[in-house]
Structure 1
Amino acid sequence: MTNYYPTTFPLAMNLDELAAKPERADAQENRARILAAAEALFAQHGVNNVNMVDIARKAGVGQGTLYRRFANKGELCLALLDTQMRDFQEHTLTQLSIMGTEHQSYLAQLMWFIEAWVHFQAHHSLLLCAVSQDQPLDHHPYSPPFLWQRMTIHGLLRRAAEQHEVADDIDVPFSADALLALLQPDVLRLQQEVNGHSSAQVVAGLQRLVSGLQILSSDKTLAQRKQRMSG
């Protein structure tokens, strides 16, 4: 079985590695035309109502040219989100560094990240959903933005465990992946658009789950905690 558990903390990804490689001038022009066409069509018709054929036609390129650049609509949506994702990642790195300097707990940092991600995806829900839907589940750990998101959550929770901020018997990889599943764009969209929860309500619910990691433990651990409290 492949172990996806990250060994670095957190955000050990070089963001420059995600940048597009240098291209010929004509290839750059085609890419720009494709992205501009997709952005215009998405704004006019909605992400879900536009297909790759529509985009190729609007951009004035052949379908072969389009698919050589973007294997599916999800990849195209990810390219449209490139600047916003980079800005969000840099903001996250800065904020976690500040919180670390202030000696705030790793659970507090995790709760901050959850809130920041929920609000980010609320602004880019349809594009992120398209990215998620066009990439098989077993590919998520390897592809941005999911690899970066996963490394952040795993890293923060692992550090929280090392600092005894969570119960000793917490399964960190399982708990981190369970939390990550609740943060996927389609799940967050379900909570907001189908269940009618606001972003603030979603954040509060997820943060309560994280807080529960401090007390969800075996009877033995609970008894030990109660004994320490009574003493």
Structure 2
Amino acid sequence: MTVHLTALARSARAPEVLARFWGEMLGREVMAEPVGLLLPGFETQVGLRFVADPAPRAAVDRAHLHLTSTTPDDQQQIVARARDLGATPLDVGQRAEEGHIVLADPEGNAFCIIEAGNAVLAGTGLLGELACDGTRDVGRFWAAALTWPLVWDQDEETAIQAPAGGTKIAWGGPPVAPLATSPRERFELAVGADEADGEIARLLALGTTRHTDRADGTAFMTDPDGNEFLVARSVT
């Protein structure tokens, strides 16, 4: 059994506010866990976790969410619902002729509502993409780490997707935003307890760095671009 991606975890000043916002946006139940608030994913949709961190924003985030829409009216309805829930318009230099709409969630995290008919995210579901800053090497690393097909590899840009389809993870290539001293997002992975040591060794061989493990045996690691991620040992 290889590691599987359970969630993108994000630090928040008020995790209950962000969990409620994103739960409403994605139609998912908020689950309280020992560490943070989880919006569980499933086979074709990545989960989200929100963890308390009162520290101010230290740097540009390396990941933001892309939500899909089915028609122009649907796109406007998603935007209106987000605004009603506390989102605000955000100018990141997008051009008027571009079809996507950029908003900021209640803590200022950017996300996009993608226009209907976007071929890249066709069939991905509502949470269409985690759009990340990162090099081609890190995209290829995560393809190997998760054993997900590399569905895009061109001009330093990469994207991967689970074999069953659904949410894509994309890396835009250079320039890459600098790492924050305390990064605000990380991938959370899980693997069966019996397979954990072998999978961690495989990840190390792929180019990760292992740091101090948590008391429960969760491995704290960084990928080739220096992004933090966790590998939890699940009991089946």
Alignment TM-score, normalising by the size of structure 2: 0.26
Which structure is larger by alpha-carbon Rg, 1 or 2?
1
Q: What's the TM-score, normalizing by structure 1?
A: 0.27
Q: 1 or 2, which has the higher helix percentage?
A: 1
Greater percentage in strand: 2
